[in-house]
A and B are shown apart, each in its own frame.
Chain A
Amino acid sequence: MSFGERISRILLSTPVLRIGSILSTLFGISIFVFLVLRVIPGDSIVGAFGIETGLLTPEQIAQLKVYYGIDKSLPMQYISWMQSFLSGNMGYSYSTGISIASLTAKALPVTIELALIGTILGVVMGIAIGTFSARKPGSIRDFAGQLFGLMALAVPGFVLSTTIVTITANKFHYFPNGYEFVRLWEDPWMNLQQMMFPGLVLGIAVAAPVMRTTRSALLETVDKDFVRTAIGKGVNARKVQSRHVLRNSLIPIVTMTGIQFGYLLGGAVIVENIFSLPGMGRQVLYAITKREYATVQSSVMVFAILFITINVITDLIYRKIDPRIKK
């Protein structure tokens, strides 16, 4: 094999293609978020000064443009941000004077913890109800399971969150999120109470698609030859369900869970707001209203990297579940 062939083989190998696709995705996201922020009206000066921007003189505006780094051309602004980001400097938040890396280091664990709790609750509920439904398709229990799935999809998170908050606070005088947020390692018991209800709201949102995926995957697998063989050989029904049917239905369930976990990382803004959790959703939302470009851009890149990492982990789980994928 010639040197050129060897090089092209390496370049076309799966890991290299995968890394290339990851890097090009991240590059695309960085360009997209950078441009979207510049296209919408308003800038960091309006974000910081609001209507008082009208009181600033042209000289003051020029000074502020230099201060916020928006005096340069768009390509220069992008290159400057990307250079800093790649060297580990995410910039700093103008309104708080704190580095974005420090803000993210505080907010990210909150969002990851919330997404994990939501995903675990969602997967447990989704698989349990999906299995419960699939056991007797067309029965009342199936109808009840599907009704749960539909309701969980139809009721918006903010309605469910507000209902929970209102009932627990008014009837039981219980709203642990009214206290200052405490981290898991500071006070695990209080942290659990502050995460319990938002985790449940997100869990219900995750449970619906997981339940529907589980139900259809189980119904598809249960008709397969190997299941009939196992039943014919006299294997216990419970064992057939767990070892043969459920295990062989896991691929679509894992895919759905991975996607949902990714969405939860970026989509928990409303729940974080209602339950007053200082996570990444709030950080990005606040930065968008203040037009703090570096904070939004760097936070979105962190989300993108996490989303891609979860996809890679999902792929690894596939290999564990189905050894044929390794080949």
Chain B
Amino acid sequence: MKLSKKFAIFSISTALVAGVAFVAPAQAASKDLAIGVTLDIDKLDPHTSTSFSTVRALGLVYGSLVEVGPKLDIRSGLAASWGFNADSTELRLKLRKNVKFHDGSAFDAEDVKASLNRILDVNTKAAARANIATITSITGSGLSVLIKLSVPNAPILAALDGVNMSMLSSDDIAANKIGKTVNGTGPFKYVSWEPGQSVKLEKNVTYWKAPVKLDTVTFRIIPTEASILAALNAGTIQFSVLTSPTVALQVGKNLNLYRTPGLGYVTLQLNARVAPLNKLDVRLAIQCAINRAEVVKTAAAGEAKVVGPITSPAYASDPDDRPCPNVDLAKTKKYLADAGYADGLTIKAIVSPTQYATASGTAQNLKAQLAKAGINLELDILDNATYVSRWLAGDFAAAVANNGGRIDPDTMYTRYFPSTGNLNKVAGYSSATMDALFLKGKATGRAAERKLIYKSISQELENNAVWIWLFAPYEYRAAAKNVTGFIPLATGSLIELRVVDLK
């Protein structure tokens, strides 16, 4: 009996040791970076994709005319330099020399014209079309391009960044190859996509910037973040994109954790077009009943920054510049009484727990805080597609939402709050003041003047408690210690893998 016990212990130990010893495939000399991500890409067309996973992966393959740097400054990309005319209705671009697509063809003004026209074509269904809809013509040849605009629009420069604004080969567009073949100007070339498993890229040796050090990059789909962290700890992947603060807090000293405040924000959207939220006093009552720091502590394990409406760093709203920057239940009660709800009221809110890591925690905490003020926040828990469907239709009283941010406040909110914005139904609010301010902001090129305009927009949003802006979650990247040189970007882009080395 004793012997058989010892044999069993020996067998199990041997099996485990053997497993550990044999699991790792032979290490090749090449520098191969495996990145763990929870979601697969959903398409190969950079202009039409809206999924974060696709945007991250294709962002390494394609290039855009300008880039957003680590300090959220606009830097040259495929355009080496640019200039506006005096009234910001013409943008002249000088393109970078010696840029080649992965198929070897040269990049020039023809590609810019074809790419921008493809984005503007309604049949393309391009995600970024609305951001450049003021373009009336694109002309040029060689390395010069002239873009004419229907109205003064200085913010359009920032809108030229990103995967949705990728420059594609004019030949590929003419041959209707986009989405079928992948031919960019980025630091890595597309190799293969195994749906549900991986996306493989390899070094572009003709990349226009400094030589790329990594030989290959593989996005490996590991559907849960806890398993991604396990794979990092086991050394089976070397880099990862994390969104859950609770998982990020478990990252040990054996790894490097990059924590960057993101541009996106979590908010309680209020639909001011439906009762009882059409009453300003009811919205202000909610505004005064919520302690944002407590939401951050509970829902995001303290891993987020309390923010106001505008998160674009150069124009960021002051989170204390709002009615009731701190909880004031006496004011809440007064607002409720003024609105005719002295005995409290019930508001239904939609939430999709699978949409992002802090959704459930945020919703539960808001419910608990509002209950103290006599407001019953009834949560309608939905799957993502159902949530999006109702959100788009404006079919909600309140919505716990995590919306994307931009480096320019115009592109961030122009589709929500001006009455003509295509998501104004979702915003649930518009006013003549807001419309005038957005028009003024678009037409103004001077930074100081623009700051004042967007400060006014921010105050207009907060004073009317249009939505309840809560916090900006962090962007997390975790990497093995031998991954060096990575620069995290608040935009979520992984473009700086072009300078990463694997020691």
Query: A residues near B, CB below 8 A?
Result: 40-43, 46-57, 59-60, 63-64, 93, 95-96, 98, 103, 107, 162, 165-166, 168-170, 172-181, 189-190, 193, 196, 273-276, 278, 282-283, 286, 288-291
Contact = CB atoms under 8 A, between A and B. Distances in A.
B236 A60 contact: no
Contacts of A41: 382, 385-386, 389-390
Nearest to A283: B196
A274 B220 CA distance: 14
Given A55-B127, A60-B125, A274-B224, A180 B198 contact: yes
11 contacts: A43-B389, A52-B127, A54-B425, A96-B193, A174-B16, A175-B234, A177-B222, A178-B34, A178-B237, A286-B196, A288-B383
B125 A47 contact: no
Interface string B384-404: 111011111000000000000
B51 A50 contact: yes
Nearest to A63: B123
Contact of A165 (B40, B51, B227, B384): B227
A57 B422 CA distance: 10
Contacts of B20: 172-174
A177 B42 CA distance: 22
B50 A169 contact: no
B174 interface: no
Q: Which 9 A-B pairs have the closest CB atoms?
A: A178-B236, A178-B231, A42-B385, A169-B230, A175-B234, A42-B389, A273-B223, A96-B195, A41-B386
Contacts of B16: 172, 174
A205 B235 CA distance: 29
Contact of A95 (B34, B43, B194, B221): B43
Interface in B429-486: none
Contact of A55 (B234, B354, B385, B422): B422
| Residues of B in contact with A, size category | 35 or more
Interface string B234-255: 1111000000000000001000
Identify which of A43, A49, A50 gathers the most chain B CB atoms within 10 Å of its CB: A50
Nearest to B22: A189
B227 A274 contact: yes
A150 to B, nearest CB: 25
B392 A54 contact: yes
A55 B425 CA distance: 12
B231 A169 contact: yes
A56 B125 contact: yes
A174 B36 CA distance: 16
Contact of B231 (A177, A273, A283, A288): A177
Contact of B23 (A107, A166, A174): A174
A162 B230 CA distance: 9
Contacts of B232: 178
A65 B23 CA distance: 48
A276 B236 contact: no
Contacts of A165: 226-227, 230
A289 B384 contact: yes
Interface in B358-415: 382-386, 388-392, 415
Interface string B35-78: 01000101100000011000000000000000000000000000
Contacts of A283: 196
B150 interface: no
A180 B220 contact: yes
A50 B122 contact: no
B296 interface: no
B159 to A, nearest CB: 14
B70 to A, nearest CB: 27
A169 B225 CA distance: 13
A166 B250 CA distance: 11
A268 to B, nearest CB: 13
Contacts of B426: 54
Given A42-B385, A42-B389, A47-B385, A54 B422 contact: yes
A291 to B, nearest CB: 5
A283 B195 CA distance: 10
Contacts of B36: 178
B104 interface: no
A51 B50 contact: yes
B388 A193 contact: no
Given A46-B385, A169-B234, A51 B392 contact: yes
Nearest to A270: B224
Contacts of A179: 23, 25, 236
B141 interface: no
Contact of A193 (B19, B50, B252, B415): B19
B233 interface: yes
Given A169-B234, A173-B235, A57 B122 contact: yes
Nearest to A182: B25
Given A165-B227, A180-B197, A278-B197, A55 B388 contact: no
B423 interface: yes
B196 A166 contact: no
B388 A275 contact: no
